Chain A
Amino acid sequence: MSERIRDEIVLKLDRVTKRFGGLAAVDDVSFGVKRGEIYGLIGPNGAGKTTIFNLITGVYSITEGEISFLGKTIGRGPLVYRGEKPEKAKLLQLKPYEVMSRGMARTFQNIRLFKSETVFNNVLTACHAGADYSIFGALWRWTKGPKWLTKYRRQEAELKEKTEKLLDIMGILEYKDMLAVNLPYGQQRKLEIARALAQDPQFLLLDEPAAGMNPEETIALMELIREVRDRFDLTVLIIEHHMDLIMNVSDRIFVLNFGKPLAEGTPAEIQKNHEVIEAYLGKEDEL
């Protein structure tokens, strides 16, 4: 395909299983996302798509298998598969913020903004990795003087500049003093993406970004995702129910059904796959 997709595997799931009690929400799922790719994750409701997101971002612990990001393991269950047979492994469970600070960012299926804060502060809060002044550093705010005295002013100015730039890119700069909760629905989605981008991610996870949008808005969003990917050189993992959007925007698609992997391939391949069609539309009656 095009040159923006490189062979380096950014995110790799290695036979990952997650059980809630007796139910396997995610069952033996493996896939790798290449750098620069837009990777689609689809499946009927309850297939375990959001559970995979929560496993990657460290919200849930893994029951079996291993997840690695940028060549480093970020999550490992008590059992892994190196060969055919499962073997015991040392449990590894990073805290969500540790996972995210390695270069990931995500949005949520049901928008989760800092509701009663302004649009500006929503994005500013996510920029904080760029400032390292201490608690006491926040107390002296000299505008001139040696570096350690002006640290607060300098870093805050940098964060604010970055925030304005991001809001401008997403086209919501005019709303910056509004409370996030008062934004129209479509703009809230954009704000959530802006907040995710504020973390300088290399890898962006989008959980049903087009949920509740009309067809025009969905097309606009598709363009936006492409544009953002090119501008920030991102790798994107996207969950979506709008088939138009996912078939158009993805480079490769992974299909889940009842937690189990069903198929993987380019949009064209997936559209022809009988098993996928069955999972979505049901089996044809044999006469």
Chain B
Amino acid sequence: MSWYYIEGILIQSCYTMLIVLGLSILTGYTGMFSFGHAGFVCIGAYISVICTMALGINYWISLLISGLCAMVLGALLGRITLNLKGDYFCIATLGVGEAIRLIFNNLQLELNVGGKHFVLDGAKGVASVPLKTTFVGSLIVVIFFLIATTFLMNSKHGRNMLAVREDELAAQMSGINTFKSKMLAMCMSALYAGIAGGMLAHYFGYIQPRMFMMVKSTEYTIMVIFGGMGSITGSVLGTLLLCALPELLRAVGDWRLVFYGLAVVVIMIVRPKGLMGGKELSDLPFIAKLLGKNKAAKKLPTSDNGKEAQA
């Protein structure tokens, strides 16, 4: 295997991880299932390509712009759909995700800015996008967002989201503005997806609406659940494993997607709460010991003791 091949998989893992991280905030922490995340990735990809190719904006700034555009769209969508409960929200996001893809499927755009000719031709998409996404660059971006997300989830904002997931009515009664928490989760997850979309476009060198089908959205959701809802470590592990798995299974040829499905099923049976089961790396006993936290080592009172204490 050449380094070029491995690097490709690593870059793919990096931006997928960014998407899954964002989805983990929405699904894993806030408990809102979204099946339209590929739509946000699609927006991000197209916006960033328009920025770099038509307007000649720097790659990094175009990533930021694409993220912000996706975030604005997420906010608008959230305004309409976040009051929907469970399944209804899921269906709404599914519809929006597909709608975004179909818009780009039919969009004809020709731009002439400063002598540059840019053509966006519906289902054919855009070709010869500059290959700006490097492994080091995407690794830095992912690590930055990984740290930011960890910090945010360990703050009152993250705990509010968890409260919404656990029991929305009780959260409201505890004085939490649940709509605001859901909106924050939605915006953040759209921002992440938008940035990742920009990275994706500049890695492949071409984009077409077919790359953002609902199957992709489902794949991201599978990664979140596979890793364990409400765990950042889980999302990272889930992404790495599920990105590498199809490549490792190339040996079995056409059967690889069967084995991929089988692996997911086995994991969900063996560990129904996902790989990490809602735990973080720092919760594992040996890591906790390493960090000097003896929280996990302390013996917890059993319920029998509790009854005695009560009486």
Contact = CB atoms under 8 A, between A and B. Distances in A.
A152 B176 contact: no
A125 B29 CA distance: 14
B173 A138 contact: no
Contact of A116 (B166, B173, B295): B166
B160 A125 contact: yes
Contacts of A215: none
Nearest to A131: B156
Contacts of A88: none
B175 A97 contact: yes
Interface string B170-199: 111111111100001000000000000000
Interface size class of B (residues with CB under 8 A): 35 or more
A182 B167 contact: no
A195 B162 CA distance: 15
Interface size class of A (residues with CB under 8 A): 35 or more
Contact of B178 (A97, A124, A186): A97
Given A128-B176, A217-B310, A135 B170 contact: no
B127 to A, nearest CB: 38
A117 B283 CA distance: 13
Contact of B170 (A112, A159, A182, A216): A112
B310 A126 contact: no
Contact of A141 (B151, B177, B230): B151
A164 to B, nearest CB: 14
A183 B166 CA distance: 16
A101 B155 contact: no
A182 B174 contact: no
Interface stretch (A9-17, A73-81, A171-179, A257-265): A171-179
A287 interface: no
A97 B176 contact: yes
B175 A100 contact: yes
Nearest to B174: A126
A103 B162 CA distance: 23
Contacts of B298: 177
A63 interface: no
B156 A100 contact: no
Interface stretch (B40-48, B85-93, B113-121, B299-307): B299-307
A163 to B, nearest CB: 11
Nearest to A53: B173
Interface in A33-66: 57, 59
Nearest to B304: A184
Nearest to A201: B175
A133 to B, nearest CB: 7
Contacts of A125: 156, 159-160, 162-163, 171, 174, 176
B166 A184 contact: no
A167 B275 CA distance: 32
A121 interface: yes
Contacts of B278: 116
B148 interface: yes
25 contacts: A59-B172, A95-B177, A96-B172, A101-B175, A105-B175, A113-B166, A114-B163, A114-B170, A116-B166, A124-B159, A125-B160, A125-B171, A128-B156, A128-B160, A128-B175, A135-B152, A138-B155, A138-B156, A139-B151, A177-B300, A178-B300, A182-B303, A184-B306, A198-B174, A217-B310
Interface of A: 57, 59, 95-97, 100-101, 105-106, 108, 112-117, 121, 124-126, 128-129, 131, 133, 135, 138-139, 141, 152, 156, 159, 171, 174-175, 177-178, 182-184, 186-187, 195, 198-199, 216-217, 220
The 6 closest A-B pairs by CB, nearest first: A138-B155, A114-B166, A112-B170, A96-B172, A126-B174, A100-B175
Given A124-B159, A159-B156, A177-B300, 9 more contacts: A96-B172, A105-B174, A112-B169, A116-B278, A121-B159, A128-B156, A135-B152, A183-B306, A187-B310
